Amino acid sequence: MKAPITRRKSLLVAAAAALALTLSACGGSSGSNPSPVQKPSFAAGSSMEKLANAGTIKIGTKFDQPLFGQKGLDGKPVGFDVEIGKAIAAKLGIAADKIEWVETVSANRESFIEQGRVDLVIATYTINDARKQKVDFAGPYYEAGQALLVNKSDSSITKPEDVKGKKVCSVTGSTPAKTIVEKYGAELVPAATYTACLEPLRNKQVVAVTTDNVILAGYVDKEPDAFKLASDQTFTKEPYGIGLKKGDTAFRSWINDQLEAFAKDDTYKKAWESTAGKVIKTVPSLPKIDRY
Ligand code: GLU
Cβ atoms 122, 60 nearer than 8 A:
yes
Candidates 222, 215, 191; CA nearest to 205 is 191
Please, what's the b/e burial string for 219-254 (b: 16 or more CB within 10 A of its CB; e: otherwise)? bbeeeeeebbbbbeebbbebbbbbbbbbebeebbeb
Report all structural domains of the chain as residue ranges with CATH numbers, in order of start: 29-143+239-278 (3.40.190.10), 146-229 (3.40.190.10)
Type of residue found at 46:
S
The verdict on whether omega for the bond into residue 140 sits within 30 degrees of 0, i.e. cis, is yes
Q: In 3-state terms, what secondary structure has residue 71?
A: strand
Other beta carbons within 10 Å of 181 = 15
Residue type, 92: L
Q: Give Cα 77 distance to the centre of its chain.
A: 10
Cβ of residue 126 lying under 6 Å from some atom of ligand 1: yes
The answer to whether the CB of 18 falls within 8 A of the CB of 70 is no
Determine if ligand 1 sits within 6 Å of the CB of residue 108. no
- Which pLDDT belongs to residue 17? 41
Residue 174 Cβ < 6 Å to ligand 1: yes
pTM for the full model? 0.90
Ligand 1: atom nearest CA of 126 is 4
**E runs forming strands in the chain:** 57-61, 64-65, 69-71, 77-78, 99-103, 120-121, 135-144, 146-151, 167-171, 187-191, 208-212, 227-229, 238-245
Q: Tell me the DSSP string of 239-267.
A: EEEEEEETT-HHHHHHHHHHHHHHHHSSH
pLDDT tens track, the chain, 292 positions: 344 444 444 444 444 444 443 343 344 456 788 889 998 999 999 999 999 999 999 999 999 999 999 998 888 999 999 999 999 999 999 999 999 999 999 999 999 999 999 999 999 999 999 999 999 999 999 999 999 999 999 999 999 999 999 999 999 999 999 999 999 999 999 999 999 999 999 999 999 999 999 999 999 999 999 999 999 999 999 999 999 999 999 999 999 999 999 999 999 999 999 999 999 999 999 999 999 9
pLDDT, residue 73, reads 87
Helix 47-54 crosses helix 249-264 at what angle (to 10 degrees)?
A: 70
pLDDT at 29: 53
pLDDT in tens, 163-190: 999 999 999 999 999 999 999 999 999 9
Tell which one of 211, 213, 214, 236 to mutate to probe ligand 1, the residue whose CB is within 8 A of the most ligand atoms: 211
CA distance 286 to 214: 16
